Every structure is written in C-alpha cells, then in structure tokens.
Amino acid sequence: MTEILVTSLGSDLYRVEVQESESTTVHDVTVAPADLMAFGRGQGAPRLLEESFRFLLEREPKEAILPRFAIGVIARYFPDYPAEITRRLAAR
C-alpha cells in the first residue's frame, strides 16, 4: 500500500513523502498561488499534491519522480495532467 504524506515547509514549499513497502522517497514541491488557481480548483495545496502524486505514481515509480520541482512541471512531462487533475479533484 502506498502512503503519501504532505507537510508544509512554509511559504509555497511542501515536502511530500511517498512510502511503499519498506522504502520512502522525499520530494520538495513548490505550489504557488497561481498553481492552486490553475490546477487546484478550490482545493488546498495538500490535497492537490496528494492527488498529483497519485497521478504520477500511476505513470512511473516513486524513485523516478524528481526530488525537487514546481507542481506545474508535471504538465510538461504529462500533457494530460491539467485535465486529469481537474477531473480527479472535482470527483472528490
């Protein structure tokens, strides 16, 4: 089972820990207010990050996720991200 833990590091920076089995990866992700407007659809940054990491984990192993990035970078690697994250956040 995969567990995703999101912790605010202050300002727009968040730490996301992905735990699977006996291993954990750590990622520092920037979520600017404009990112919340573009991708968050009224959800807070922790919810957006949790669902964004679930999206990423469906496409690549946790070890392949960048250790530090801005949330908008996901759309550069996965063009379907904006539409898919909007759909996922609206469904919950």
Per-residue pLDDT of 74-90, as tens digits, reads: 999 999 999 999 999 98
Q: Which domain holds residue 33?
A: 2-91
The answer to whether 73 touches 66, Cβ cutoff 8 Å, is yes
The answer to whether 5 touches 17, Cβ cutoff 8 Å, is yes
Would the pTM of this model clear 0.85, i.e. be above it?
yes
pLDDT digits (tens, 9 = 90+) for 49-77: 999 999 999 999 999 999 999 999 999 99
Alpha carbon distance 41, 48 (integer Å): 9
The total number of structural domains in the chain stands at 1
Alpha carbon distance 57, 51 (integer Å): 10
- Nearest CA to 25 out of 17, 13, 14, 35 is that of 17
